[in-house]
A = this chain, B = another copy of it.
Amino acid sequence: MMQYDAGKQPLSLEEITKRLCDPASYAGVYHRPMHDKPMPSVTALADIMERLRALLFPGYYGNSEITPETMVYHMGAGLDHVARLLAEQITRGHCFSCTITDRESCKDCDKQAEEKTMRFLSALPRIRELLASDAQAAYIGDPAARSPGETIFCYPSLTALTHYRIAHELHHLDVRLIPRIITELAHSKTGIDIHPGAEIGSHFFIDHGTGVVIGETSIIGRNVRLYQGVTLGAKSFPKDDSGTLIKGIARHPIVEDDVIIYAGATILGRVTVGKGAVIGGNVWVTEDVPAGARISQKASD
């Protein structure tokens, strides 16, 4: 354990500066983007998410006085704004991990980011359709909900899914870093951590949600309901010959349509939870569960 040095004299500001500027000190924690592109901005992405939310749920977010008559203006103007802002962040995300030092080869970066942005925006009607089904599922699944609108406006499930469904689309477009930041924004706000790579069907609902984790290669069907603290995780992490983890292997569960998983349950590995199964609270699952099964923990005594 590193030794605490409270007894020593404090250093001068000049000396601390010198030490922090020693390349040996900053080697592992210093970042210099290619071609002077600044880092992606978390604040800008939060703003973009607000604007997307206003496009997806008109009246609930953004301008609350929007009417069918003026909708075309607000949608068009909103899309135009978001297109510019998002393309900029996509380029930055790409530059973050880019290793091409030859500036000429990077020439198409901006164009590619713009094209990916337009592809993404083209998917908004489909994303909206999915989120409408999620709002319906939340209303049906929570006895405390009084209307689907209430779930759109104040349920963490809808927040997490709006972020996830947007991030997932960007993930498929091979956008770097940005999807992860978008789901982290929702994770921080709701405690629900869904990896952008997961595949999730329509009518999905997570009640309460704090502590839910849905791993990168999870596949979830339609009409599935989860409660707080549910983990869809990996069981083991195969390493290659050099001992480092192999990335990208399918290692998370498949959850089929109409499954319910109660609070605190943990499902690990590439197992399948069959259609309509119900997994009880705090249950630990590492093998396939047949369709229609009901698995539960016995109460302690």
Residues on B with C-beta less than 8 A from A216 are 143-144
| Bound Cα distance from A125 to B23, whole angstroms | 11
Report if A282-B263 is in contact (Cβ < 8 Å); known contacts: A125-B19, A140-B245: no
When the two chains form their complex, are residues A84 and B65 in contact, meaning their CB atoms are under 8 A apart?
yes
| Contact in complex: B10, A122 (CB < 8 Å) | yes
Task: Collect the chain B residues with CB atoms within 8 Å of residue A73's CB.
Answer: 17, 72-77, 79-80
The reply to whether A132 and B28 form a contact with Cβ atoms under 8 Å apart is yes
Decide if A266 touches B281 in the complex (CB within 8 Å). Answer: yes
**Chain B nearest CB: distance from A262 CB in Å?**
8
Contact call B57/A29, Cβ cutoff below 8 A: yes
- Within the oligomer, what is the number of copies of this chain? 6
Q: Mark A169-198, 1 if CB is under 8 A from B, else 0.
A: 000110011001100100111110101010
* Closest B residue by C-beta to A27: B132
Q: Identify A153's interface contact among B39, B132, B286, B300, CB under 8 A.
A: B39
Residue among A59, A199, A298 with max Cβ neighbours from chain B (10 Å): A59
B128 touches A97 (CB 8 A): no
**Within the assembled complex, what's the spacing in Å between the Cα atoms of A15 and B268?**
43
Least CB distance from A14 to B in Å reads 8
Q: Are B31 and A57 in contact (CB under 8 A)?
A: yes
Which residues of B have CB within 8 Å of A129?
Answer: 25
Q: A215 to chain B: which residues have CB within 8 Å?
A: 144
29 A-B residue pairs with CB within 8 Å: A1-B199, A10-B121, A16-B121, A17-B73, A21-B71, A28-B136, A29-B131, A30-B59, A39-B59, A73-B79, A74-B77, A74-B80, A143-B237, A143-B246, A144-B215, A150-B177, A154-B180, A155-B184, A156-B187, A187-B210, A193-B208, A208-B213, A210-B210, A213-B228, A268-B281, A282-B282, A284-B299, A284-B300, A297-B300
- Residues in B whose Cβ lies below 8 Å from that of A29: 56-58, 60, 128, 131-132, 135, 152
Q: Is residue A276 contacting chain B, with contact meaning CB distance below 8 A?
A: no
Contact with B along A186-229 (1 / 0, CB 8 A): 01111101010101011000001011010110010110000111
User: Which residues of B have CB within 8 Å of A150?
Assistant: 96-97, 177, 180
Select which of B17, B68, B187 is within 8 A of A72 by beta carbon. B17
Question: Counting CB contacts under 8 A, is A126 at the interface?
Answer: yes
